[in-house]
Structure 1
């Protein structure tokens, strides 16, 4: 298995971004819907999400929903966490963190998006085509 390491390419504003958030998918749990409603305004505002990206955002919201649901189960039992559930929650957290970075939902990736200026479409006389 090959791992690509090094500097991630800069996130760029898309040429055909969504301008309005679609409704949350009907199959979402309450927690996943809450996450969708929380992140979609930011993604729309940053102009980095298109229709093609919605599957990844759905995955992020589902993972965040699973994290919260498992946490509810831990609280309900009152005892030490179930090892299997803990593993599931840990994997969901890792997945959510990776997807958050992919879509500019982490502080570092958000800084990469915000660091770009609105004038980035202007022709650069020093740029070689």
Structure 2
């Protein structure tokens, strides 16, 4: 008999092929997307859950966040286009879903046991056995 766990995501854990340093942001990303890339990568590297195979998903997350921020800038500048709200809404939903995949939301961090901020490991810590 098989056990179905619909709707239950497996716990994230350190990967043996995890990236140890952040790759540069792709040149084709917009400015807001590059800023998000630089903001989240220290957390992702410290958690050791991200591999080269995950980079496309992280790019998509950063692009979605960048789209939301760009539309917000335009809206704050006085441009109100009802069509842009639909684009913003889909980008925000995509960003939220992808953020959850990579442990970038409070709920997903709790699922992997990281309630507080993650500090990078220090090699010279004498108590680190």
Partner of 2:86: 87
Secondary structure at the counterpart of residue 11 of structure 1: coil
Q: Pairwise mapping of residues 17-28 of structure 1 onto structure 2 (< 5 A)?
A: 17-28=18-29
Contact residue 70 and residue 89 of structure 1 kept, 8 A: yes
Partner of 1:125: none
Partner of 2:104: 105
Secondary structure at the counterpart of residue 62 of structure 2: helix
Q: Pairwise mapping of residues 1-129 of structure 1 onto structure 2 (< 5 A)?
A: 5-77=6-78, 81-114=80-113
Contact residue 63 and residue 95 of structure 1 kept, 8 A: yes
Deviation beyond 4 Å, 4+ runs, structure 1: none
Secondary structure at the counterpart of residue 49 of structure 1: coil
Length, aligned pairs only: 110
Q: Quick one: distance in 1 between partners of 2:111 and 2:15?
A: 14
**Where does the alignment leave 5 or more consecutive residues of structure 2 unmatched?**
115-129
**Where does the alignment leave 5 or more consecutive residues of structure 1 unmatched?**
116-129
RMSD: 1.5
Partner of 2:125: none
TM-score, with length taken from structure 1: 0.80
Q: Deviations over 1:78-123 (max 9, x none)?
A: 5xx32110110011000000000001111111122236xxxxxxxx
